[in-house]
């Protein structure tokens, strides 16, 4: 029996609930993954599987509202090569959010913290752990879309009761979040990211 992986399960559920409102990009190429890893180090297998299945996706709501977009590898590379990216440690990959501004990042290195998702703005204080791994993050984001959006005759509407997509929301779909949050390597990673903005390192 062939088991459905997390990426396939999430994308199939979104397609079933949102239909044509879900816009999926073609899979990333091997060269695109190599380029990304040259900038930020080896990427977790689950995240690589996602990019090789669906190199970014978005909901056809408002092209200016980045809540509904998971970045493509092209977006990630472009952001990491931008002038303001000098403040970004080379173990982070942006996967969702404003550019520049508050974004969700995949940690590729930093000892045992590798693989977690953090929310961080290089120009602001502090950082927050959002998910213990990309699979849990993707599952939570799908639930956020399903709960927050309504399809009416192929038109997408945002529900007024939409909750914020933060750690309080993702915790419902990530049983390991609190355990991972207590790990020393994760706490050290969050402290270092907060210190970047606090000291103004590499930010002009």
DSSP H or E segment with residue 47: helix 45-53
Q: How much is the pLDDT for 204?
A: 41
Cβ neighbours around 36 below 10 Å, total:
22
For position 2, what pLDDT does the model report?
53
| pLDDT tops 60 at residue 200 | no
What's the pLDDT at 63?
63
User: Who contacts 175 (Cβ-Cβ below 8 Å, separation ≥6)?
Assistant: none
C-alpha distances (whole Å) from 185 to each of 113, 150, 174, 201 are 5, 40, 19, 21
How far apart are the C-alpha atoms of 89 and 101, rounded to whole Å?
A: 15
Rounded mean pLDDT of 7-28? 92
pLDDT tens for 44-103 read 999 999 999 999 999 887 666 778 899 999 999 999 998 776 778 889 999 999 766 689
Q: What is the pLDDT of residues 153-180, one digit of tens each?
A: 778 888 888 889 999 999 999 999 999 9
Q: Which CATH number fits domain 6-199: 3.40.1580.10, 3.40.50.300, 3.40.50.1220, 3.30.750.24?
A: 3.40.1580.10
- Which of 70, 98, 64 lies closest to 82, judged by CA? 98
DSSP state of 91: T
- pTM for this prediction: 0.91
pLDDT of 22 over the 80 cut: yes
């Amino acid at each position: 029996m062939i088991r459905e992986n997390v990426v396939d399960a999430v994308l199939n559920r979104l397609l079933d609930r949102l239909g044509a409102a879900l816009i999926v990009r073609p899979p990333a190429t091997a060269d695109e993954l190599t380029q990304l890893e040259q900038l930020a180090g080896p990427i977790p297998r689950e995240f690589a599987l996602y990019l090789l299945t669906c190199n970014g996706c978005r909901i056809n709501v408002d092209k200016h509202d980045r809540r509904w977009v998971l970045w493509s590898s092209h977006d990630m590379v472009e952001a990491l090569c931008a002038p303001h990216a000098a403040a970004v440690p080379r173990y982070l990959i942006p996967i969702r959010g404003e550019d520049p501004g508050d974004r969700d990042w995949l940690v590729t290195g930093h000892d045992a913290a590798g693989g977690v998702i953090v929310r961080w703005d290089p120009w602001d204080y502090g950082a927050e752990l959002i998910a213990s791994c990309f699979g849990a993050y993707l599952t939570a984001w799908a639930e956020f879309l399903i709960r927050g959006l309504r399809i009416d005759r192929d038109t997408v509407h945002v529900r007024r009761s939409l909750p914020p997509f933060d750690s309080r929301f993702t915790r419902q779909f990530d049983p390991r979040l609190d355990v991972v949050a207590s790990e020393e390597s994760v706490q050290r990673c969050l402290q270092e990211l907060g210190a970047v903005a606090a000291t103004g390192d590499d930010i002009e």
